[in-house]
Structure 1
């Protein structure tokens, strides 16, 4: 462990469009990468949901035991914040940021637990799905017809040091589901017919990309203001059509123009 520690930890959020995209495995891989670079890393909380691949991915990482909470005769396990603080790692891996803690817990939400770790100077790598972001909750319900009761405030993600999208194509995610890699076999057909319909997954993926793009744009504006940068950068895509003078040239130019028209502000430059 390094001798110096930042006064406030940094939050790294792995964002997914839907369950099963690979956020938890990506979190564990990031933890292993940081450990191999010399950081002191622990798995503070891992949710495998019965997925063998996820359970296997923890492998040689140190795991902090959970605390047990009994509610109405049922024993539940939650993140043991005090145990993590006592262990004082440099990096803690905490799955499912939007989780609601068991009744009787000191704090209602897991993101409140994470805030304490950050305040103690511990970096946190965590996961969340797009449907759990408060501002998008209603939109996701309109898309999927499913009400998400566990949410995390947008401000928590905006204050993160890094938000990274864990992305897979909708068809790939459906394939994982069909293979039983996301839910047990008895739940697959219902999931594919409802929440995991191709149209839903495509819309959720687009929503995740748009939300993240908006956050990047906001960060860029803040950076420009902080550094008194008034001019803008040319960061647009350009369509280049290469023609030889043959009869197919006009068709290629029209095709290039259509591509440019679909992307606002993109220029189409013929090149001979």
Structure 2
């Protein structure tokens, strides 16, 4: 490994390896310069891979999270959009500048289905990265920037390549994009490249499963609307007298908003608080939990019934959509892993490593 083919042939010609009667046949047959050069390159690659494997094992055993740049390893973050091909080619050019550079393309799929990519486009990008000598990885993660950084640090990457955001200007009111978050959280040991492309600021379109699951922030806003909203609405309606029918409609609209934001329980709280406030402040006799007119009692009953119905529908829809989105994400992962096995591209050890990597586990075992 440490000797050039010419030096090795000189040692052989001097009789340091074979007996003198075998030297000529060996030099003209197996130990030709071309064969020795190819063998040396294979040996160097094998040694480099083994050294990198030992390095990864050491970092894992000693829980070293800091990146050790033993070689240029470039992670490409894919969204499933058309700009992915540009990012893959750019990463491949970066890898060519460093000896032994690797390209790892990764697509982060959220298990709730809130981000959905075209399977056809991902297949094209996977073929492209493999044709360029890289590898494609499919990982599940709830927080995309955090999952991307965890993956990059897990494979001891030195660089991350991301595309400029496709979001429109007004969409930045919802917070920074993935690229800005990754760049901020990457630290000093991981370089982040933001690459421009033709899809910049053209919009990402609405995800297929926008309301797949009610997140924590939505539930908080739902409870605020369900508990605080009726109180604020009561203060407002106390200054402007619009009649009981209109008051009921305003409280009903607020309950529907709480249901859309937070689901069943905030809507139930809104309906209960709203009906009590309606009864106390706006239903004769006021400031008493009694109802003099039967028609007002009917209006309040209809209000509570509609509120409960809407809340139930929203809650059931959110649960069913979340279940469907999770099954879809799991089926995509299963299809991806099974495809490798059926094509004969993945050994059992590699398959287990892909499973471990995909679900963010520390280890995977086959029993």
TM-score (norm 2): 0.25
Higher normalized helix content (fraction of residues): 2
Larger RCO: Structure 1 or Structure 2 (Cα < 8 Å, ≥ 6 residues apart)?
Answer: 1
Larger radius of gyration: 2
Higher normalized strand content (fraction of residues): 1
